[in-house]
Amino acid sequence: MANDSKTWRCGKYELSFDRPRIMGVLNVTPDSFSDGGEHFDPDAAIEYGLAMLDAGADIIDVGGESTRPGFTPVNPDEEARRVLPVVRALAKEGAIVSIDTRHVAVAKAAVRCGASIVNDVTGFTDPKMVEFVKTSTCGVIVMHAGEVAAPARTHATVQLDTSAAAFVAEKAREAAAEAAREAEKPARRRRGKLLGEPKPEAKLPGGVVQPSLPFGEPEPATEPASEQETPAAEQAAAAETVAPAPEATEAASEPNDHLAAMMRRSARREEAYVPTSQLRRFTLPDSAPIMRRVMGFLSDQARALIHAGVSRDRICIDPGPGFGKTANEDIVIQRETAKMASLGYPLMCAVSRKRFVGAVSGVTEAAERDAATFGVCLGAIQAGANIVRVHDAAGFAQFLNGYWAVAKPQPRRAFVAVGSNLGHRCDNIRAARDMIAEIPLTCVSNSSKIYESEPAYETRQDAFANAVIEIKTELAPLVLLDELMKIEAELGRDRSKKAKANGPRTIDLDLLWMDGETHGGKKLRLPHPLIGERDFVLVPLEDLMHDPARFFRYNGVEVKEPEDRVGHIVGELGRM
């Protein structure tokens, strides 16, 4: 019930979660960890984004900067050059587009080009990013990227007693504590030698002290992904007290680029990993401290956005798998999905091809981890995740449709427009209605009368017979559309390239609207973008609902006045 009640407002779109939503990953980069360079050309990226929409993706997440360990920072101008043509083209086709960026300039430009969501890998810790999203209507994704993203919190020192005696007493206590620590050191060293304990810190080339991870014990990383981070406080301390390693010099050229510096250190840790973890009594670390950090950060940032003026129903949260976390910690976090879902925000599961997925499945190559990714996503969905971010959108859509049909009975209302102007028009419409009733997991619940209308768009042809059929279905929109196309083909509809567009046809079936569904792409647009100008659709709909013009305007469709429409109704031909 909690999942059903959540909605996510993203600009002009409103996503419901009566079923999980699929976010397809579109990296317009030369160096992403599993698909770098495949879609670096803008035309190739646009084509692939449209293909993901036509295969079942609900959202396309466009990114122009890789955040894998050791990545090279991309300046905002270059990032914008990569992503803006792609964002503009996909938005033009009705897609819900998310811009994956940490740069406010890129986010602003992408939203102007049609992006509806800002996905900030640093969790909106940049005040400029917060200032921008509070003045827009876009959806926002708050991601936990380890402590590197969190602003340093300073606390004022409070002196309760300023007397000289109190000062002397305090110094004496500090001296005694220091003496006790010094006395303990020889014993601790002897115990370390006996037990074989590793040194708490390891030196990297150049004298840099290897910092500990923000969670638990470090583990070896086996592939370059967006993984492992170090606390911002440790970065600052290292920058002030030790000379930078040669590799860190480049990072210094990017002002305040904590993320790049952290991921560069993460890459070095992968190259020269020395195990430092202690033996444990349990297979996984204690979840409480891990979840306090992750959920605390997500809650704090979400509240900060709300206080800044971002409405709660625009906020989605993402625990950030692989960012500043070991494989064990990622598993702990995934097992606590229900707790994160209980915060009440739409919850993202973005585990696609990540290192910990490879660890639990035994698959080394990142691009080969899709099947294991689907398994982890299914566990998250069952625990309350609302959105899954995947590279293989087509494969996951098939996987989800199969699971959902069996596990989640969920009939939804939809409207199908039916038209014919060849042969026995009314008989063709009735035959289509009977065949629609035979589609699996689908029934016909109501039908309008059959009307005669003027031809629209291509006027040099015979008048049409038109009707609208109301159905209930448990199929996904694209699966239902395929079934409708099969009926058209069986009744003799010619959809080949030689057929005249909007010309004569034995039958025409258009999926107009489906409860809770918004979709873009070349294959299917929901709601149908031409509903509002078609008199031969709006008049039959009046037999099935009260005031269809008002209904579709509420759903974001522009509805024209009767005199400005096409395909005007000229008479009735009988009942269905």
**Could you state, in order of their start, the residue ranges of all structural domains in the chain?**
2-151+285-406, 411-574
- Using alpha carbons, select from 116, 82, 120, 81 the residue that is nearest to residue 100: 120
Looking at residue 87, the DSSP 8-state letter turns out to be: H
Q: Assess contact for 225 and 373: CB atoms under 8 A.
A: no
Name the superfamily (CATH) of residues 411-574: 7,8-Dihydro-6-hydroxymethylpterin-pyrophosphokinase HPPK (3.30.70.560)
Q: What is the pTM of this model?
A: 0.79
CATH classification of 2-151+285-406 is 3.65.10.10, yes or no?
no
Q: Is 392 left (phi over 0), alpha (psi -120 to 50) or beta?
A: beta
3-state secondary structure 181-193: HHHHHHHHHHHHH
Q: pLDDT per position in the chain (576 positions), as tens?
A: 445 578 999 999 999 999 999 999 999 988 555 555 566 789 999 999 999 999 999 999 999 987 765 557 789 999 999 999 999 999 999 999 999 999 999 999 999 999 999 999 999 999 999 999 999 999 999 999 876 544 544 444 444 444 444 555 566 677 777 776 666 655 555 544 444 444 444 444 444 344 334 444 434 333 433 443 334 433 433 343 333 333 333 333 344 566 666 555 544 544 433 444 566 678 999 999 999 999 999 999 999 999 999 999 999 999 999 888 899 999 999 999 999 999 999 999 999 999 999 999 999 999 999 999 999 999 999 999 999 999 999 999 999 999 999 999 889 999 999 999 999 999 999 999 999 999 999 999 999 999 999 999 998 999 999 999 999 999 999 999 999 999 999 999 998 888 888 889 999 999 999 999 999 999 999 999 999 999 999 999 999 999 999 999 988 899 999 999 999 999 999 998
Tokens linked to 128: 């400029």
Sign of CA dihedral 247, 103, 101, 114: negative
